[in-house]
Amino acid sequence: MLTDRQLDILYLIIKIYTETDAPVGSKTLMNEGIQASSATIRNDMGVLEELGFIEKTHSSSGRIPSVKGYRFYVDHLLKPTDVASQDRLEIRRAFAREFHAINDIVETAASILSDLTSYTAFSLGPEVKERKLTGFRLIPLNHQQVMTIIVTDKGNVESQVFSIPQDMSSEDLEKVVKIINDKLVGQPLITVYNKLRTEIPLVLQRYFHTPSSVMHFFDSVMAQAFEDRIFVSGKMNILDYDSLTDMSEFKSIYSLMDDEEAITSLIIPSHGDISIRIGEELENDLLENMSLMTASYEVNGHGKGTIALLGPTNMSYARMFGLLDVFRYEVADQLSDYYRSLESPH
């Protein structure tokens, strides 16, 4: 078991390394408040290194925290810092505008978070799959084009403009609308998604002799609505906080950020309210030197959303923890208000 002084030393190494980004030596620790001589501190550091909590960058360097060290820190030592009142203010102010869509709120969350931290922020709204399809419209715009509008019960709207396929008559279109209204409107999106692969093709075969073109139309119309849109803000900040060996490395990371699929699966597997994954724990070579903090929030009755923060392994977990905690509530509140305003007509 670690002694109190050893815990202090580990804590302090992490704190100082976060601030200075340079290996921490025994003398520095002495000056920063450890009540012992540098030799004693060195002995303790030896122990901590033996246990794998800290490591050297070269044989005679100071120590930096290892992943295991950070893990121990976030699990046992971390005390969230109070959020600076200036930060609080900025958050309030950024949310103090009128929103016209859920995704506006979700996007704003990512944007404030990355501004506040200078890291990269992600924001994923309450889950889509639980929603119901409440409306489907086809608006003819001119000879060739129609606009499709899909509305879900939580106020999400997706629209798309189509050129009408050559082999599709306007009667066919009307049939499509009818089929969608009969079979799909009112269903949860997940059901819609399933029927689209099973039942609907059968129905189409009965009504059309070119079901594939109709099916294709169907598919693109619905595809959008199923996507959990994830918002990323502060991609460029990677340049500041990641010590890149290589421009191609940056490019890879950058394009990873553009891959909604990848990001979503990176962020989703979080446990509890706020989860932290450090360096290798992210199981992605590109993110070796980064950590990901994920916070989830519940919008009462409307599903679970997620915000996340990607930064260097030596980020200030304490401050970030505090911030994310504020966001958890703030975003949930904002969304909650928005949903309420949708439900109660004024």
Partner DNA sequence: GTTAGCACTCTGAATGTAAGAGTGCTAAAA
Partner DNA sequence: TTTTAGCACTCTTACATTCAGAGTGCTAAC
The residues that touch DNA, with contacts defined as CB under 7 A, are 5, 23-28, 36-40, 42-43, 45-46, 49, 56, 58-63
Tokens of 331: 């975003």
In whole angstroms, how close is the CB of 254 to a copy of itself at the nearest point?
7
Q: Residue 155 interacts with a copy of itself (CB under 8 A)?
A: yes
Q: CA-CA distances (angstroms) from residue 163 to 148, 176, 190? A: 11, 15, 27
- For residue 158, the cross-strand partners are 150
Among the listed residues 228, 197, 217, 265, the one whose alpha carbon sits nearest the alpha carbon of residue 131: 228
Residue 251 near which of DNA, a copy of itself, none (CB within 5-8 Å, type-dependent):
a copy of itself
Q: Residue 308 interacts with a copy of itself (CB under 8 A)?
A: no
**Strands 274-278 vs 290-298: parallel, antiparallel or unpaired:** antiparallel
In this structure, is the dihedral angle defined by the CA atoms of residues 187, 191, 197 and 198, taken in order, positive or negative? negative
Interactions with a copy of itself, residue window 162-181 (CB under 8 A): 162-163, 166
Residue 282 near which of DNA, a copy of itself, none (CB within 5-8 Å, type-dependent):
none
Residue 145 near which of DNA, a copy of itself, none (CB within 5-8 Å, type-dependent):
a copy of itself
CB closer to DNA out of 58 and 271: 58
Tokens of 188: 């949860």
Tokens of 236: 């460029």
CB closer to DNA out of 58 and 97: 58
Among the listed residues 294, 287, 264, the one whose alpha carbon sits nearest the alpha carbon of residue 74: 294
Residue 202 near which of DNA, a copy of itself, none (CB within 5-8 Å, type-dependent):
none
DSSP letter string over 117-134?
Answer: HSSEEEEE-S-STT-BEE
Binding positions for a copy of itself, rule: CB under 8 A:
98-101, 134-135, 137, 139, 141-145, 147, 149, 151, 155, 157, 159-163, 166, 236, 239-240, 247, 250-251, 254-255, 341-342, 345-346
